Structure 1
Amino acid sequence: MLTLEVLNDSSQAEFTRLLDGVYEHSPWIAEQAWLARPFRSLAHLKRGLIEALRAAPREAQLGLIRAHPELAGKAMVAKSLTAESTNEQNKAGLTQCTPEEFAAIQRLNASYNERFGFPFILAVRGPRGQGLPKQEIIDTFARRLDNSADFEFAEALRNIHRIAEIRLNDKFGQEPLLGNQVWDWAEQLAEYSDPGYAERGELCVTYMTAAHRASAQRLAVWMRDECGFDDVRIDAVGNVVGIYHGSDPQAKRLLTGSHYDTVRNGGKYDGRLGILVPMACVRELHRQGRRLPYGIEVVGFAEEEGQRYKAVFLGSGALTGQFNTGWLEQADTDGITMRQAMLDAGCDIAAIDALKRDPANYLGFVEVHIEQGPVLNDLDLPLGVVTSINGSVRFLGEIVGTASHAGTTPMSMRRDAACAAAELALFVERRGAAVPDLVATIGMLEVPNGSINVIPGRCKFSLDVRATTNEVRDAATADIQAELAAICQRRGLRYTLEETMRAAAAPSAPAWQARWEQAVESIGLPVFTLPSGAGHDAMMLHQIMPQAMLFLRGLNAGISHNPLEAITNDDTELCVRAFQHLLNQLDNNQPRT
């Protein structure tokens, strides 16, 4: 098996020879990466190869893409594939296609080449390395035909990097066992889904349904039987709480976790990753018979998404003393109140107040989460350190003009509400792009009872403004409100604007952010920081203790709240390793008993 010591001591020619086949017919990538020696880890080597390719001119990158064979194409039929490609296509079953599957792939190959001018590239061994099902390959092929040329060029390179990563693992005899464990747990947890979704193979787990309760029980069993937690319980709001004591059971604890509920037809990793990664860390500590000078408390928060009831952050809010008892009387679409759903699940509603945590008993809160965005994916980076969870504010608005005949009303005499909303939307786009780490969105536009031959007299819209600080958010909001007023005055319109939600920004505690940065650097990756545009349970814990988050790259342009949400076992392995490093940093900083 290949080792880093051998590679680091090799001449450029020997280095290139040893990495032959990692990138298809492209030895120049290894030749360039050789200049970045010595490599401190396999992750560092992978990054060196990625950076060599990212720095190359586009023509060289295109040549690499074109060096890859078509899937189930002529080279496979002629048995002229490289040994690496033969192995990969065989693992995905492409060497045993039915005539119908083969014909479908051939049609897709032809359409793809005609549209983009290069072959379709897909890491067919998949995110777990075991091989993708043929139908998933065909579906992905068809879906990616709708991408733009520039996006698909970058997606081809991303898949080439994944192919190279798996080939490097083979050369080094490395298997991401911890990443596999987390990935497998996520697959098994996804077996539970609410009625109406389970039948279609979709994932939906909403508060206190049978699927939700089964998910909680499965997490509790894993914590107790597989991971060795000392104390495991499901609390009064459905949070799954696992405690692994320190060498002194009375010592402070590190609090961590995320939510296990999902959106409707969602992904398998949003929230759940932040429960499973620390579970894997505790499992390893237990197997080693190791106790840290502090305890670890992992919480699977029962609810964060607000899908069945209008109650977001219910699970983490209970820990901060912010459970709103008014929520109990809300009814779902079937008329079942939250109170009844909780009682049916055996929850002790009278015990909710006692769930509030005393921050004096904790070191802080950390959370691992899938990024839910395209930034890390675009940069070919597995991990990113969060600087702040954006503060946000939301509005629902309406512009009112005069509905009149589209044929008889001169352009100069119109009071068009939709055009005013469109003008506002363009301003929102410009204002959101004017400041780093600020985003502003009009996500909904509606002309009630609109008609093709009627000038819109009313237009409803939403507004969402987010930034890493409340000050930046509020300045943008004020500018947008002023622009709305000016547009309506100039056009002779009136408007209403109702604030429906406001959440404060949650900047990461500097010391905890630095620990995540050290953890990422320790495994051989460059440290990249970014804000979180989405809300997380860490926002709630931020109110009572220091917090910081680590993001894991998502595949498929980082899409989330979607069945296409995906991660790789190798990225997840790095995430677990980074978490372990953070635990060890704390170990070194804690007093011994």
Structure 2
Amino acid sequence: MSNYPERAAQLMRRIEQLAAISEEAGVVTRTFGTPAFVQGRNLVQQWMQQAGLQVRVDNIGNLRGRLASARPGAKTFVIGSHIDTVVNAGRFDGPLGVLLGLDLLEQLAARRAELPFHLELLAFSDEEGVRFHTTYLGSKVLTGAFEPALLGRTDAAGISLAEAITTMGGNPTQLAADVLPAAEWRGYFEAHIEQGPVLWEQQVPVAVVTAIAGQRRVELTFRGMAGHAGTVPMTMRQDALTGAAEFVLLAEQFARAHGRSLVATVGKLQVPHAASNVIPGEVVCSLDLRSPDEAELAAAYEQLRQQAEALAARRGLTLDWHLVQQTAPVSCDAALNAGLREAVAGAGYPVIELVSGAGHDAVPVSQVAPATMLFVRCYRGISHNPLENVEPADLAAALQVAEQFLAGLISAG
């Protein structure tokens, strides 16, 4: 039997080494296209090359390591996750899936002649979307869903996405050449920390992901009338901030009333020209709405929009409601999930099925290929935070389950 604890220790060492590469000392920050991102990718590239993989960097900056099958007409099974991070991130979100996949391919490198399909490990370049306020740049290029209009988008320093790609050595006009056509996919597997507390509370190391919640992000602007804090009577005010504050509570109450499947979050509030002695005349806030049920998501979106408009009218405010992003819910592949459930049970663990409230590269991949995901328990469900942590025993469990899952696919051909 494979020495999973020893392999988990090696996996942990690699995660720590990658986490030490950052744009800012003392924290983990590696956003798309930055020198720290490239340095981190170069380290993972060295490990891929040492494992005997055929390695290349594509035009969007994805790192791709391949074990080629000798079978004529073989399709490609992709194992992947991302190596970019949010600002002040944890160590495991993204890199765990990439480096776990590297361990799996290291074990198979000497047996490539037996492979019924090609295996390709993807370290996606941009899933978090921090620098250009995008999502899934790396996996959208791989799947052919990239939108060329995004090339003109600029970061906070005024650098365009096209310029960033060129700086990394890519060619923004050749992104279509990096697509893996739908007909060539065998499937997709991604291991990822849960980013939620269910596995932690139940003290179970892994879970099978059944679906990924759909998402709608909205930017709302409440406009009233700025005025002197001491001279405008309370009954005559058009206070944009109190209107936004009421909406924050409204969104929370609305989601709570709809049960566990719907979540709503207001994560940003901006008050232009704020001062302690000025009634706020304008407030910009965000709304993040998610559900695994498309009908529920659409209905909730419309109801919240109507309630926000009614709130604004009642307070004498105007409201701009702008849909920033829309992603449909995704169901993981039934056949791949059956194999993953069998691997979990075969490794001796309870079979727990969860819906992911967070987005993953599996979302665009699922539009062209069967996809499945394995969640790994993380400390108290904390993610996008330096406290993010995974126990070595849980890494060992994830390696065992993933290896048995992959072995089942190889046996099936």
TM-score (structure 2 length as normaliser): 0.91
Whether 2:192 is the aligned partner of 1:369: answer yes
Whether 2:338 is the aligned partner of 1:514: answer yes
Equivalent residue, structure 2, for 1:202: 27
Whether 2:361 is the aligned partner of 1:537: answer yes
CA contact (8 A) 1:245 1:291 kept: no
More helix by share: 1
Identity %: 37
Whether 2:309 is the aligned partner of 1:480: answer no
| 1:573-592: CA deviation from partner (whole Å, max 9, x where unpaired) | 111111111112213322xx
Q: How much does 1:422 deviate?
A: 2.4
Greater relative contact order, per chain length (Cα 8 Å cut-off, separation 6+)? 2
Q: How much does 1:539 deviate?
A: 0.8
Return the alpha-carbon distance in structure 2 between the equivalents of residues 180 and 312 of structure 1. 31
Q: How much does 1:265 deviate?
A: 2.2
Return the alpha-carbon distance in structure 1 between the equivalents of residues 114 and 245 of structure 2. 60
Return the alpha-carbon distance in structure 2 between the equivalents of residues 398 and 362 of structure 1. 43
Sort the Cα spacing of 1:567 and 1:415 in 2 relative to 1 into closer, same or farther, 3 A. same
| 1:386-442: CA deviation from partner (whole Å, max 9, x where unpaired) | 121111111111223344555565554444333332222222112212133210111
CA contact (8 A) 1:249 1:295 kept: no
Residue identity opposite 2:328 in structure 1: A
Residue identity opposite 1:297 in structure 2: E
Return the alpha-carbon distance in structure 1 between the equivalents of residues 354 and 388 of structure 2. 20
Equivalent residue, structure 1, for 2:8: 179
Equivalent residue, structure 2, for 1:271: 94
- In the alignment, structure 1 segments of 5+ residues that lack a partner are 1-40, 42-173
CA contact (8 A) 2:4 2:400 kept: no
Number of aligned pairs?
A: 411
Equivalent residue, structure 2, for 1:418: 241
Whether 2:22 is the aligned partner of 1:193: answer yes
Higher gyration radius (CA): 1
Sort the Cα spacing of 1:582 and 1:487 in 2 relative to 1 into closer, same or farther, 3 A. same
More deviation in 502-511 or 410-419? 410-419
Return the alpha-carbon distance in structure 2 between the equivalents of residues 331 and 404 of structure 1. 35
Residue identity opposite 1:178 in structure 2: R
Equivalent residue, structure 1, for 2:43: 218
| 1:48-99: CA deviation from partner (whole Å, max 9, x where unpaired) | xxxxxxxxxxxxxxxxxxxxxxxxxxxxxxxxxxxxxxxxxxxxxxxxxxxx
Sort the Cα spacing of 1:237 and 1:408 in 2 relative to 1 into closer, same or farther, 3 A. closer
Sort the Cα spacing of 1:285 and 1:535 in 2 relative to 1 into closer, same or farther, 3 A. same
More deviation in 570-579 or 517-526? 517-526
Match of 2:183 among 331, 342, 360: 360
Off by >6 Å, runs of 4+ in structure 1? none
More deviation in 282-291 or 504-513? 282-291
Say which SS state the counterpart of residue 186 (structure 1) adopts.
helix
Return the alpha-carbon distance in structure 2 between the equivalents of residues 509 and 324 of structure 1. 25
- In the alignment, structure 2 segments of 5+ residues that lack a partner are none
Q: How much does 1:480 deviate?
A: 0.7
Match of 1:429 among 248, 252, 277: 252
Equivalent residue, structure 2, for 1:305: 128
| 1:417-472: CA deviation from partner (whole Å, max 9, x where unpaired) | 33332222222112212133210111223443344455444332211111112211
More deviation in 271-280 or 418-427? 418-427
Q: How much does 1:385 deviate?
A: 1.7
CA contact (8 A) 1:391 1:467 kept: yes
Whether 2:151 is the aligned partner of 1:328: answer yes
Equivalent residue, structure 1, for 2:292: 468
Equivalent residue, structure 2, for 1:553: 377
Sort the Cα spacing of 1:492 and 1:561 in 2 relative to 1 into closer, same or farther, 3 A. same
Return the alpha-carbon distance in structure 2 between the equivalents of residues 248 and 288 of structure 1. 13
Say which SS state the counterpart of residue 255 (structure 1) adopts.
strand
Return the alpha-carbon distance in structure 2 between the equivalents of residues 413 and 337 of structure 1. 45
Residue identity opposite 1:519 in structure 2: A
Task: List aligned pairs for 1:80-159, cutoff 5 A.
Answer: none
Whether 2:80 is the aligned partner of 1:251: answer no
Residue identity opposite 2:17 in structure 1: Q
Match of 2:218 among 374, 377, 395: 395
Sort the Cα spacing of 1:360 and 1:439 in 2 relative to 1 into closer, same or farther, 3 A. same
More deviation in 342-351 or 532-541? 342-351
Sort the Cα spacing of 1:333 and 1:503 in 2 relative to 1 into closer, same or farther, 3 A. same
Equivalent residue, structure 2, for 1:117: none
Q: How much does 1:300 deviate?
A: 0.8
Q: How much does 1:322 deviate?
A: 2.6
More deviation in 544-553 or 280-289? 280-289
More deviation in 204-213 or 544-553? 204-213
Q: How much does 1:370 deviate?
A: 1.4
Return the alpha-carbon distance in structure 1 between the equivalents of residues 223 and 111 of structure 2. 68
| 1:302-353: CA deviation from partner (whole Å, max 9, x where unpaired) | 2222233344312111111133333434444445444344334332444321
CA contact (8 A) 1:216 1:234 kept: no
Return the alpha-carbon distance in structure 1 between the equivalents of residues 167 and 233 of structure 2. 63
Equivalent residue, structure 1, for 2:83: 260
Say which SS state the counterpart of residue 176 (structure 1) adopts.
helix
More strand by share: 2
Sort the Cα spacing of 1:403 and 1:191 in 2 relative to 1 into closer, same or farther, 3 A. closer
TM-score (structure 1 length as normaliser): 0.65
Sort the Cα spacing of 1:189 and 1:378 in 2 relative to 1 into closer, same or farther, 3 A. same
CA contact (8 A) 1:384 1:527 kept: yes
Sort the Cα spacing of 1:439 and 1:191 in 2 relative to 1 into closer, same or farther, 3 A. same
Return the alpha-carbon distance in structure 1 between the equivalents of residues 347 and 279 of structure 2. 60
Residue identity opposite 2:371 in structure 1: Q
Q: How much does 1:499 deviate?
A: 1.2
Return the alpha-carbon distance in structure 2 between the equivalents of residues 201 and 251 of structure 1. 45
Return the alpha-carbon distance in structure 1 between the equivalents of residues 6 and 241 of structure 2. 55
CA contact (8 A) 2:4 2:397 kept: no
Say which SS state the counterpart of residue 479 (structure 1) adopts.
helix
| 1:206-229: CA deviation from partner (whole Å, max 9, x where unpaired) | 22333322322222221222x333
Task: List aligned pairs for 1:283-322, cutoff 5 A.
Answer: 283-286=106-109, 291-322=114-145
Equivalent residue, structure 2, for 1:152: none
CA contact (8 A) 1:228 1:282 kept: no
Q: How much does 1:475 deviate?
A: 0.8
Return the alpha-carbon distance in structure 2 between the equivalents of residues 175 and 355 of structure 1. 34
CA contact (8 A) 1:400 1:494 kept: yes
Return the alpha-carbon distance in structure 1 between the equivalents of residues 59 and 311 of structure 2. 51
Return the alpha-carbon distance in structure 1 between the equivalents of residues 312 and 153 of structure 2. 37
Say which SS state the counterpart of residue 435 (structure 1) adopts.
coil
Residue identity opposite 2:20 in structure 1: E
Match of 1:345 among 164, 168, 184: 168
Say which SS state the counterpart of residue 519 (structure 1) adopts.
helix
